[in-house]
């Protein structure tokens, strides 16, 4: 009777500001048969520190691709308008 644990990650890009949603599925197996699974979701937005997170390399690749200077400027303008109540 061998128990094993496996983590899988998948991603969604949400909003015009390219927020990255990371979903982790943790599955427990007994002799190759799935006993249970759980999900945990984390969201990252421009300016978040992604150092040291799970699956860091994948998230950093995504931030480099999606968080362009144009998207960053748009996000900054949105945050400013929200803080001013516009």
Structurally, how many domains does the chain consist of? 1
pTM across the whole model: 0.86
Q: Are 63 and 44 within 8 A, CB to CB? A: yes
Q: In what order do the strands lie in the sheet with 33-44?
A: 3-14, 19-30, 33-44
- Exposed, middle or buried, 40 (CB in 10 Å: 0-12/13-18/19+)? exposed
Taking only the tens place, the pLDDT of each residue in 49-67 is: 999 999 999 999 999 999 9
Specify the pLDDT at position 86. 76
Closest C-alpha to 23, from 49, 57, 55: 55
Taking only the tens place, the pLDDT of each residue in 13-41 is: 999 999 999 999 999 999 999 999 999 99
Residue range of the domain that includes 56: 3-83
- In a 3-state reduction of DSSP, which class is residue 9? strand
């Amino acid at each position: 009777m061998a128990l094993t644990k496996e983590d899988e990650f998948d991603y969604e890009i949400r909003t015009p500001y390219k927020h990255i949603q990371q979903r982790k599925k943790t599955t427990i197996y007994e002799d190759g048969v799935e006993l249970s699974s759980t999900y945990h979701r984390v969201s990252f937005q421009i300016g978040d520190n992604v150092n040291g997170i799970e699956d860091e390399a994948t998230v950093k690749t995504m931030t480099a691709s999606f968080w362009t200077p144009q998207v960053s400027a748009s996000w900054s303008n949105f945050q400013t308008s929200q803080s001013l109540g516009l």
